[in-house]
Each structure stands twice: as C-alpha cells, then as structure tokens.
C-alpha cells in the first residue's frame, strides 16, 4: 500500500458559496476557466499502484485543484483580509504579498486588506507594531526588493490573543506565509476559530527555502537559492584550483533536508563531496571524509565540499538549546569541518589552502529570480481564490504539475527529505564519485 493512500485530502469549507464571483463579469478574451471541487489531481502517479487501488475497490486519493470558483462565500464589499509573513526570510516573500493584494483588489474588488507587521507579533498589542492598509500602489514595486515588505519574526505567540485580534479587526480571511512552524501555528489558530464558531478562513502559503514541506513538491525561493548557491560553488572551485592542494568548503541551507546542497551540486558539477542531514558519514577511518579528501588531493590537487547546515550533528554533544521558533539550535558544521580538515593535514605535514564560504544569509535576503516570481504569482492568486470560496485550514501547494489545495492536517508537523535510495541522491553520488564515506 502506498503512503499516499492514507492522505486525507478533504478541505474544510465555512459554508455554501452562494455569491457569483466578480470574476464572472470580467471574462478574459470572452471566457474564463473556472474550477469546481470535482476537478481533482491524483496524489499517487505510479500506474501500478493506481491499478491496485482501483482493483481493490478503493477510492484514489486526490487533491482539489486550485483555481477560481464560479460561486464564492465571502461578500467582497464587506470583507476584511489580513496577511502575515512569519519565520526566516526567503526570496519571493514580496512576490507573494504583491500577488495576494493585487488579486484581492482587482480580481475580487476587496478594499480592506491589512498587512500584519513582524509576523505573529503584529497581532499582540504589547509589541506595539503598526498595521498597514495594503493597496496596489503600496506593493506594486516590492518584488524588486529582498526580504519581506511586512517584516517577520520567530517564536510562538498566544493563539487566543491572535484570534482576539482577528475578532476585533473583523477579519474574514487570514493569509499566513511561513514554514512548518507557521503551518502548525495556523492549525492552532484554526482550532480556536472553530471552537469559537467564527467564520474566518485561514489559508497557508508554504514558505521554506529548504524545499522540505511534506506533500509540497516545490516551494518558492528554492529555485533562487539553488541558482545563487551554484555561484558560491563556482567561486569555491576557482579558489580551490588556484592553489596547490586547494580546498573549497561551502555551507548551504538545509536544517533537516539537503535539497539545496544536492541540487546545487548537480547544477554546478564541480563538487567532489556533498554532505546532507539524511545521509550519515564518518570523518575518521579509511573510508571517512578526511581520508577520502586526502586521496582526492593526491589525485587532482584540489577539492570542493558542499555541506548542508544540518549535516554531521552527531559530531557534537546533544543540544537542548532552542531558537525562538522552538527548533533545536544546530551546531556550526561548517566551521567544525574547516578546523578538522586543517588539523588533519597539519598532522600529516601536508600544506593545504582552504577557503570557507557561507552565503546563507545573502541567499535568504536577496530578491527572487524570474522563475520564482512567476511561481509566487500563481501561489498568491490561488490562495485568494481558495479563501474567497470559503475554503479554510488548507495550504496552496504544487503537486504533479498542478496547483492544489492541501489540507493542513496532511502536511503540518511532517517533513520532506531526500531519499538516500532515490534518484536525486544516486545522481549526486554519480556526479561526485564520493562513495558512502562510511567505514565498514
């Protein structure tokens, strides 16, 4: 049985949509493609497993297709919407903000759109953050800038106080842009809304530069991150080749999933060793990283190593330190490797030239590239379509080449990771020739 067979793809709805959408009166080129809840995208695409499911008389799991509905739930003339960005910065945040505002304003004629400053702190009165009234003129040019136009913050806030604020503001739709922690917070906010019997839609737009959100095949900012990471790899390779026994060491983002490190290594195939959280490796011993690096320098006189920030945490004492979002604080694997490599070759009386590059914060805070701009535009518009139809407790995802509605319950609290036996990692091994880096 496939893991996808157990996915609950039912998206809650606040009530029956009865109002004709304003989009109906503004048909493009004489027509507009509306989507119904019966239009669905199968989750499993393996033909054999689909046949097994149908033959067993089971229903094939499928997500609702995202897109505009002919009937909507909210009256645009009376609706108030709020938009908040949470967690770490990521290329494309401003594109999401812009897309949501423009679709609400021009597509659905919603005039009351509020931007919540500095993440969930913006809902809590003690912080004193202002609320912005968002207009097309205000957000028109923000996609050229990195960071978040609304600002962000980490850390949990009082969920009851957040919902109190939504009630006071008479908000009907809350758009939350963030990663796994934000989706967990969105689930808790939705629980309180349900308990209070409020008619507030909560729609998540998944944000993770690491591309590690479960049931989301691609997240915005990842394409930009890979592109910028390849520049760092190219620079490290040039540095390494420029000196006898030159070593380029690059630390990239990836707390629990090494998708950026693996994909960037394939995009710029100058990397000899890729270290990711999903695949264990040894430092010492005949098959460990240090011995393999020594052999590489003997053969080619230079080497390039890419390490994801969450790799190799076994080399440190277990930490119970948490960041404001509740994540375990990672030890700095990049600096650790730098020191260990230098010490190893010093003990062998071998002179090396090691250049260490950590572009993480530069990558996180730069503007998105063209592909991510387009992707963010689709995500933002589809989030608006879903919310206006009364959908709630969902996030907008990309699955099997379609934008879909994913229930928060199917994704929150779970993480997508590289399969060590899958095609991506096997391609990395083929491109680098690094072997397992594990002693027998």
For residue range 330-384, list pLDDT tens digits in order. Answer: 999 999 999 999 999 999 999 999 999 999 989 999 999 999 999 999 999 999 9
Contacts of 309 (CB under 8 A, 6+ apart): 251, 252, 253, 254, 255, 330, 333, 334, 360
The residue extents of the domains of the chain are 3-219+366-411, 223-364+420-432
Q: b/e per residue, 329-339, with b = 16+ CB within 10 A?
A: ebbebbebbbe
Structure confidence at residue 1 (pLDDT): 44
* Residue stretches of the annotated binding site: 88, 154-155, 179-182, 208-210, 253-255, 309, 361-364
Across the range 81-104, mean pLDDT stands at 96
Predicted TM-score (pTM) of this structure = 0.92
Contacts of 406 (CB under 8 A, 6+ apart): 9, 63, 215, 216, 394, 395, 396, 397, 399
Structure confidence at residue 140 (pLDDT): 93
For residue range 190-233, list pLDDT tens digits in order. Answer: 999 999 999 999 999 999 899 888 888 889 999 999 999 999 99
Q: Is 210 a catalytic residue?
A: yes
What's the CATH number for 3-219+366-411? Answer: 3.40.50.450
Instruction: Give me the catalytic one of 8, 210, 317, 419.
Output: 210
Structure confidence at residue 110 (pLDDT): 98
Q: How far, in Å, CA of 231 to CA of 264, rounded?
A: 9
For residue range 246-259, list pLDDT tens digits in order. Answer: 999 999 999 999 99
What's the CATH number for 223-364+420-432? Answer: 3.40.50.460
One fold for 3-219+366-411 and 223-364+420-432: yes
* Residue stretches of the annotated binding site for substrate: 208-210, 253-255, 309, 361-364
């Amino acid at each position: 049985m496939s893991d996808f067979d157990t996915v609950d793809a039912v998206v809650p709805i606040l009530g029956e949509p009865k109002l004709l959408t304003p989009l109906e009166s503004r048909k493009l080129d004489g027509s507009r493609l509306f989507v119904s809840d019966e239009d669905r995208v199968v989750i499993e695409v393996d033909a054999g497993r689909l046949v097994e499911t149908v033959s067993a008389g089971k229903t094939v799991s499928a997500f609702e297709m995202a897109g505009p509905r002919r009937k909507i739930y909210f009256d645009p003339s009376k609706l108030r919407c709020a938009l908040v960005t949470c967690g770490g910065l990521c290329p494309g945040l401003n594109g999401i903000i812009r897309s949501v505002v423009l679709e609400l304003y021009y597509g659905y004629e919603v005039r009351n759109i509020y931007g919540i400053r500095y993440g969930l702190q913006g809902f809590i009165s003690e912080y004193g953050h202002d609320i912005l009234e968002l207009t097309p003129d205000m957000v028109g040019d923000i996609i050229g800038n990195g960071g978040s136009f609304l600002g962000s913050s980490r850390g949990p806030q009082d969920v009851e106080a957040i919902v109190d604020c939504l009630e006071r503001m008479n908000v009907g739709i809350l758009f939350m842009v963030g990663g796994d922690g934000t989706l967990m917070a969105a689930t808790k906010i939705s629980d309180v809304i349900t308990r209070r019997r409020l008619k507030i839609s909560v729609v998540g737009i998944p944000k993770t530069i690491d591309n590690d959100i479960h049931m989301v095949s691609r997240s915005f900012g990842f394409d930009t991150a890979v592109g910028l990471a390849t520049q760092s790899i190219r620079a490290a390779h040039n540095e390494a080749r420029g000196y006898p026994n030159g070593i380029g060491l690059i630390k990239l983002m990836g707390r629990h999933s090494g998708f950026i490190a693996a994909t960037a290594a394939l995009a710029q195939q100058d990397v000899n060793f890729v270290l990711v959280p999903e695949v264990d490796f040894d430092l010492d011993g005949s098959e460990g990283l240090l011995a393999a690096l020594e052999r590489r320098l003997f053969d080619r006189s230079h080497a390039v190593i890419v390490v994801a920030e969450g790799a190799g945490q076994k080399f440190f004492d277990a930490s119970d330190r948490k960041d404001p979002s509740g994540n375990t604080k990672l030890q700095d694997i990049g600096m650790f490797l730098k020191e260990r490599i230098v010490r190893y070759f010093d003990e062998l009386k071998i002179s090396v030239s090691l250049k260490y590059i950590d572009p993480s914060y530069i990558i996180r805070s730069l503007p998105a590239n063209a592909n991510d701009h387009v992707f963010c535009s689709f995500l933002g518009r589809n989030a608006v379509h879903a919310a206006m139809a009364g959908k709630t407790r969902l996030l907008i995802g990309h699955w099997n080449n379609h934008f879909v509605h994913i229930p928060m319950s199917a994704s929150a609290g779970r993480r997508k990771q590289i399969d060590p036996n899958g095609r991506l990692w096997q391609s990395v091994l083929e491109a680098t020739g690094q072997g397992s880096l594990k002693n027998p």
